[in-house]
Each structure stands twice: as structure tokens, then as C-alpha cells.
């Protein structure tokens, strides 16, 4: 399992184009970026300098106005298709294999039908890429359509396409379901990307804290071999947790 830095949340005190090198310098294996569209794909590819960019979101131009995507928003089919195509083009130009399709704020049966139809269209439009959906907790993102991991699993099953998977964010799992380890065990088989942050306040991960250790042991034991991305609020505490996490994951995998 390789560990990436989310260079939107982890700024390393430098501009976006310098963050991949900063992430490499402290020991990360790759990076993800929520919204890389402020620079061109060519500029991003140059900034990466061979480091993998493993995940991007669909663009949300009206983020500051409270929007959180369009995939489940009735009446936004055309705009979602444009957003998805922008993400597909950027991903292909930068060698990025995963796109998180943001659901947006909506509710009800019409939103569910629109979400499934848009996800199906996105998967068929980009069979070479993995399309991901991520439940976001209602405390941090009130009104977000996809706010439950079991709901996400049902959607993935009903869409039924092999390049649709779950983005498992441990922070959101904690806030939604409480028991992250149990939630992971239910949904590990459909997970294609993992994001981590400290359970207490979404700071740096604490691989030796009991609840986090139980999750990381289950993660290492599960056979998951994809990317793990650090997505947390960096308070400048450093990155010594990286070595401790790798050791724990190796130990759990060896015992599996």
C-alpha cells in the first residue's frame, strides 16, 4: 500500500506547483488534489516530476457559494457532464487513474435516480478510469446527498459497472457510523481509494491510538492494495506518523 498526500489540505507552506516535490521530500509516494484546475494539466504534469497524481475531484466552480458538486442534483445533468468531461481530460493528461464524482446537495428519489444515471454515464464515458463516490458526513457537509456508506454500497451495486468504486474516508466513516473498523470490514471489497486523518479532530493520523490502530490493522489485514491518502488539517506537527503507519500496515499484512 502506497501513501499519498492530499496537496489541497497539506500545503507544506508552498504554492500548489511546489507541493508535489515537498510531499516527496517528506516521504510520500504520490499526491492527490481535490481541485487542480487552477493550473493546466501540462503545468501539473511538470510539477509532479514523475510523482503519481492518484486522485482528483470533479470541478466545483461555485464551491464558495456552497455547492458541492452536481452528480445527484436534478436539472444539472448537462453541467455535470461538462464537469465530468473536464475531469476526464485532466486525468488522462496527467496519468491520474481516479476521479471522485461529487454528488452535490440534494435529496429524494429524483436525486437518487439522477445520481445513478450520471454515474453510469460517467463510467461508460471513461472505462479506462475509476469513478469514485464518497459519503460525506452531515455535520461537516450538511445537505450532501451521499451521507451514508451503506447507501453508497447499494448505489455501486445497482449501477453495476466495474469501474465504479467507493472512496473510503475514515474521518467521514467515524462521523457517520462511529465504528470505522466495522464500517471498513463491511465495505473493503468495493473500496478503490482510502483517505485518512486523525479520528479526534481530523489532524495527523495517530497509528498507535487504539481506535486508529484497530482500523489500520484491519486495513493491513484486508488485502487492500490501493492508495491511502493523508487528508487532514495540518497543524505543522510533522510527518513521523508515516513511518509508524507503514510499520503497522506491514505487521498486519504479515500476520494475515
| DSSP string across 199-256 | TTTS-S--TTSHHHHHHHHHHHHTT--SEEEE-S---S--STHHHHHHHHHHHHHHH-
- Residue 228: the pLDDT is 98
**Could you state, in order of their start, the residue ranges of all structural domains in the chain?**
2-255
Strand bridging mode 227-230 / 191-196: parallel
Instruction: For residues 108 and 127, give the distance between their C-alpha atoms in angstroms, rounded to a whole number.
Output: 29
Active site residue 212: no
Average pLDDT over residues 227-241: 93
Q: Are 192 and 130 in contact (CB under 8 A)?
A: yes
Report pLDDT digits (tens) over 135-169.
999 999 999 999 999 999 999 999 999 999 999 99
Under a CB-based contact definition with an 8 Å cutoff, are residues 63 and 55 in contact? no
Inform me whether the pLDDT recorded for 253 exceeds 80.
no
Q: Which of 76, 134, 206, 212 is catalytic?
A: 134
End-to-end CA distance of the chain: 14
110 is known as an active-site residue: no
- On the question of pLDDT at 67 being above 90, the answer is no
Q: Averaged over 27-45, what is the pLDDT?
A: 97
Banded model confidence at residue 61, pLDDT cuts 50, 70, 90: confident
- The superfamily (CATH) of domain 2-255 is Divalent-metal-dependent TIM barrel enzymes (3.20.20.150)
Rounded percentage of the chain residues whose pLDDT exceeds 90 = 93
Q: What is the pTM of this model?
A: 0.96
Q: What integer pLDDT is reported at residue 256 of this predicted model? A: 61
**Better-predicted residue by pLDDT, 15 or 252:** 15
How far is 107 from 96, CA to CA, in rounded Å?
30
Q: Sorting pLDDT into bands at 50, 70 and 90, what band is 219?
A: very high
pLDDT tier at 251, thresholds 50, 70, 90:
confident
Catalytic residue chosen out of the listed positions 32, 206, 212, 231: 231
Amino acid at each position: 500500500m502506497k501513501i499519498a498526500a492530499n496537496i489541497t489540505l497539506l500545503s507544506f507552506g508552498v504554492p500548489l506547483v511546489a507541493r508535489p516535490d515537498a510531499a516527496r521530500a517528506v516521504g510520500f509516494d504520490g499526491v492527490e488534489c481535490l481541485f487542480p484546475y487552477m493550473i493546466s494539466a501540462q503545468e501539473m504534469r511538470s510539477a509532479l516530476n514523475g510523482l503519481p497524481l492518484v486522485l482528483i475531484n470533479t470541478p466545483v466552480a461555485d464551491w464558495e457559494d456552497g455547492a458541492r458538486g452536481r452528480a445527484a442534483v436534478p436539472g444539472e445533468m448537462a453541467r455535470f457532464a461538462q464537469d465530468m468531461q473536464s475531469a476526464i481530460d485532466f486525468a488522462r493528461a496527467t496519468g491520474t487513474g481516479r476521479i471522485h464524482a461529487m454528488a452535490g446537495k440534494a435529496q429524494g428519489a429524483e436525486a437518487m435516480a439522477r445520481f445513478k444515471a450520471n454515474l453510469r454515464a460517467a463510467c461508460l464515458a471513461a472505462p479506462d478510469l475509476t469513478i469514485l463516490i464518497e459519503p460525506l458526513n452531515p455535520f461537516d457537509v450538511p445537505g450532501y446527498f451521499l451521507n451514508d456508506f451503506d447507501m453508497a454500497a447499494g448505489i455501486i451495486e445497482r449501477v453495476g459497472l466495474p469501474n465504479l468504486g467507493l472512496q473510503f474516508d475514515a474521518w467521514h466513516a467515524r462521523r457517520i457510523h462511529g465504528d470505522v473498523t466495522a464500517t471498513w470490514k463491511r465495505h473493503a471489497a468495493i473500496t478503490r481509494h482510502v483517505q485518512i486523518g486523525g479520528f479526534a479532530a481530523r489532524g495527523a493520523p495517530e497509528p498507535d491510538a487504539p481506535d486508529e490502530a484497530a482500523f489500520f490493522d484491519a486495513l493491513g489485514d484486508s488485502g487492500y492494495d490501493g492508495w491511502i491518502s493523508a487528508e487532514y488539517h495540518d497543524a505543522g506537527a510533522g510527518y513521523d506518523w508515516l513511518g509508524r503507519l507503514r510499520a503497522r500496515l506491514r505487521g498486519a499484512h504479515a500476520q494475515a
